[in-house]
Amino acid sequence: MKKSVLICLLFVMTIAKSFATDIVVEEFGITPAYPTITDAVAAASNGDRIIIKNRAGNIPWIENINITKSLQFLPFDNDTFFVAQGTWTITLNAGQAVTIIGMKNTLGGIQATTSTGGPKTAQINVHGCYFISGNIYIASSAYELNATHNQLDAGYVYASFGSICGNDITTALSYPIQVYNISGTALNDTVFIIGNKVNCTSTGYSGIYTSNTVSRYQIKNNFVKSRYMGITTGNSCNGTNLIYNNTILLTNSSSSVYGIDVYNVGTGDILEIMNNVIDFVATTSTMYGINNDGGNSGTVNVYFNHIDVAANYPVSTGFSFSGNNTTSSAITLANDGRLQVGSAAINGGNPAAPFYDLDLTAGDAGAYGGSYTLDNYFPLFAGSSRVYLNTYPFNVRLGNTLNIKGNSFDR
């Protein structure tokens, strides 16, 4: 009996050693804590969690961090940030993942180098973080990026694969959201760009830009402010792609402005543009609503969109189908992009049941309409855990299996 108990205890101890370890970082830390984030990263093993206490007075941890292991980074206190300053550079092999939750970075951002794996073989997750001056720049197609519920006051998000959901992004330097892929390897994959507030303050950039993607994409329920183009998609599509329920406000520009600009949709591919709202404020030149920029050999359908009557060219010719668009009414938006009472876009989306609002009334056009309403994502930093993406069928047939997938994080 004693021998059996001893064997069981040794077995349990062996299993325990294989579990991930929580490593604490605190100012002037002594064993078992670590005095810097760099020291903690060096000591960590794949799968460990690094839990970071703030320095006295919330002075930032001023370090450039290099990460080559599967690690998680979390604040020590619940429902708050750990404060850092510096660039975090991630270099992973296939099968590895890094998750950063609750970072407040005062000057710096997150970037990734190339990986030894193929397309989308490593993962980077950035959840609930606040970048005062810095970017999330994942240029290598080896990484899937899930960037959710972050605030970037002067930065942008750049990725090849993954999901960009529920972020508040302002930049004058680039596209606030850019998805670009040069791997040339088609994957059975979808990029989700859903529920973001985007403000592009410089003339010459689009609020959301996709190009050369080898994945399908869904661009839904974003509120985009831009001084040039709201949403631009080109050299893209690998199957059926969706631009649904976005609200686009084009402002303060002396150059031509475009709500949604489309070019080079490939043969056999489909792009659906539906339930979008496009408004113009203080623009002094040519205004385009939904623009065909040429080179489309696939199918582009444009319907149930609402474009302000001020547009010089509300919907271009040359699309595969264009119908049920409203172009004769003025659109007035509140500061947060909500439709003002009396707008034709209220209950003015596609009337089919799958596009109803959450209260089961006819769907509104724009960012606050339909199941993925922008209200699902804001305010930011309001709770310890968030579900940032649900995927499910919009039509359920009796007798069929209902498959629902949810993605979430816990601060």
At which residue do the structure tokens 């699902």 appear? 376
**Residue 215: per-residue pLDDT:** 84
Indicate whether 202 and 130 sit together in one domain.
Answer: no
**Residue 218: per-residue pLDDT:** 95
Residues spanned by the domain of 247: 172-380
Residue 402 resides in a domain: no
Q: What's the burial of 220, exposed, middle or buried (CB within 10 Å: 0-12/13-18/19+)?
A: buried
Indicate whether 44 and 134 sit together in one domain.
Answer: yes
Answer with the one of 155, 186, 216 that is the final residue of a domain.
155
pTM of this prediction?
A: 0.92
Residue 388 resides in a domain: no
Indicate whether 253 and 368 sit together in one domain.
Answer: yes
**Residue 238: per-residue pLDDT:** 75
The gap between the terminal CA atoms of the chain, to the nearest Å, is 45
Indicate whether 359 and 246 sit together in one domain.
Answer: yes
Indicate whether 110 and 190 sit together in one domain.
Answer: no
Residue 80 resides in a domain: yes
CA angle 330, 168, 241 (to 5 degrees): 70
**Residue 235: per-residue pLDDT:** 82
- Copy the structure tokens of residue 303: 């319907």
Residue 15 resides in a domain: no
Indicate whether 221 and 144 sit together in one domain.
Answer: no
Indicate whether 214 and 355 sit together in one domain.
Answer: yes
Nearest-angstrom CA–CA distance, 206 and 199: 10
Indicate whether 177 and 290 sit together in one domain.
Answer: yes
**Residue 185: per-residue pLDDT:** 63
Length of the chain: 411
- What is the number of alpha carbons within 13 Å of residue 31 lying toward its C-beta? 1
Nearest-angstrom CA–CA distance, 201 and 210: 19
- Count structural domains, the chain: 2
Indicate whether 255 and 324 sit together in one domain.
Answer: yes
Indicate whether 104 and 220 sit together in one domain.
Answer: no
Summarised one tens digit per residue, pLDDT across range 222-238 is 999 999 999 999 886 67
Residue 250 resides in a domain: yes
Cβ-contact 121, 100 below 8 angstroms: no
Measured from the Cβ of residue 14, the count of other Cβ atoms closer than 10 Å reads 9
Cα dihedral sign for 91, 212, 130, 47? negative
In 3D space, the residue among 172, 116, 165, 106 whose CA is nearest the CA of residue 140 turns out to be: 116
Backbone angles phi, psi at 365, to 5 degrees: -75, 160
Indicate whether 127 and 223 sit together in one domain.
Answer: no
Summarised one tens digit per residue, pLDDT across range 63-82 is 999 999 999 999 999 889 99
Indicate whether 246 and 118 sit together in one domain.
Answer: no
Measured from the Cβ of residue 118, the count of other Cβ atoms closer than 10 Å reads 13
- Copy the structure tokens of residue 255: 């150059």
Q: What is the pLDDT along the chain (411 residues), one digit of tens a residue?
A: 444 443 343 343 333 334 689 999 999 988 899 999 999 999 999 999 999 999 999 999 999 999 999 999 999 998 899 999 999 999 999 999 999 999 999 999 999 988 777 889 999 999 999 999 999 999 888 999 999 999 999 999 999 999 999 999 999 989 999 998 765 566 778 999 999 999 999 888 999 999 888 788 999 999 999 999 999 998 866 789 999 999 999 997 778 999 999 999 988 899 999 999 999 997 778 999 999 999 999 999 999 999 999 999 999 999 999 999 999 999 999 999 999 999 999 999 999 999 999 999 999 999 999 999 999 999 999 877 778 887 766 666 667 777 787 888 776
* 303: β partners: 274, 323
Nearest-angstrom CA–CA distance, 335 and 100: 31
